[in-house]
Chain A
Amino acid sequence: MLMEAPERAAASTPGVLPQVLLLEPDYVMRRTLALTAKSGRLAQVHETGSHERVAALVATQRFDGFMIALNDVGDGLHWIETIRAGHTRSDGDAPIVVLADRIDHALAHQLRQHRVRRILLKPCKVRTLVEALGVYVTR
């Protein structure tokens, strides 16, 4: 599912990779994306499956964008709300891509309200995530 949102260029310096935070429980998925993104010089993906780790990262580091898995809808939505409320070091309008096991109208509405850039339905391939990194690249 693709939700169109106003284009916003990721803040980046030429030669510096976009910094992306990935919250995803599947270890192999997130490590593969991080390694592939780095080798292709697409983005520096900071990956974790831990909400505690996310809390530490968003409090200390600025990210150009986020990929957030909504395994338990509450947890993932919490981070989206936190980011949009400006309660992190990142731009409150930073691009967010959501990974969801399922989507219904209510959730789609919530995500639209939070200006989520893309929703990727699981199961999805690493290739799909690699292609989704394009939202973080300065246009």
Chain B
Amino acid sequence: MIVAPLPITEHERLQALHELMLLDTGPEERFDRLTHFARQEFEVPIALLSLVDRDRQWFKSHPGLGICETSRDVSMCSHVVHAEAPVIVIDASKDVRFHDNPLVAGPPHIRFYAGLPLTLPNGHTVGTLCLIDTQPRQLDPTDLSILASLRDMAVAEILMQEVAAC
């Protein structure tokens, strides 16, 4: 298993994340409607709105997944945060980065992963909107464009929260 490196601006990134005041808050329909929509659109069992914290990834919305956080070292979303770009994994069991990841080798037995970065206007990537499936699959350009649109809507909702909190 390859643990994602920390971004160079990790300190500032964490500060930006915490300033959103979203961590450890309750479910909100404005985020849940996006992840539920993603599940239906792409016919995947799991869609997550993930926020990557110092030592954990915490899920603001997690339809299909019974837990609300994991440690950061097993986080596939951390690779998106480091890359500041989409990460698409067709079959995690065959990917050198993830094949022995506990979330792949064990429940929820991740095979397909598609994570798009949630990047704020200040440039910091705080998490992802991601799709997870238990079987290998791919996304074509139209799929990616649709997922990117849902991601953009998620970022807009996050920024509304930030404005409301001021």
Decide if B37 touches A29 in the complex (CB within 8 Å): yes
Closest to B43 in A: A125
Which residues in window 10-31 of A have CB below 8 A to B?
Answer: 27-29, 31
Q: How far is the CA of A28 from the CA of B33 in the complex (A)?
A: 7
B108 to nearest A CB, angstroms? 24
Asked if A103 lies at the interface with its beta carbon under 8 angstroms from chain B, I say no
Decide if B149 touches A35 in the complex (CB within 8 Å): yes
A98 to nearest B CB, angstroms? 20
Decide if B37 touches A39 in the complex (CB within 8 Å): no
Q: How far is the CA of A24 from the CA of B143 in the complex (A)?
A: 21
> Which chain B positions have C-beta within 8 A of A126?
41, 146, 149
Interface SS of chain A: helix
Closest to A31 in B: B153
A3 to nearest B CB, angstroms? 23
Decide if B153 touches A127 in the complex (CB within 8 Å): no
Asked if B145 lies at the interface with its beta carbon under 8 angstroms from chain A, I say yes
Decide if A36 touches B41 in the complex (CB within 8 Å): no
> Which chain B positions have C-beta within 8 A of A130?
142, 145-146
Asked if A138 lies at the interface with its beta carbon under 8 angstroms from chain B, I say no
Which residues from chain B sit less than 8 Å from chain A, CB to CB?
Answer: 33-34, 37, 40-41, 142-143, 145-146, 148-150, 152-153
Between A and B, 17 residue pairs with Cβ closer than 8 Å are A27-B33, A28-B33, A28-B34, A28-B150, A28-B153, A32-B37, A35-B148, A36-B145, A39-B149, A40-B145, A125-B40, A125-B41, A126-B149, A127-B41, A127-B142, A127-B146, A130-B146
Which residues from chain A sit less than 8 Å from chain B, CB to CB?
Answer: 27-29, 31-32, 35-36, 39-40, 123, 125-127, 130
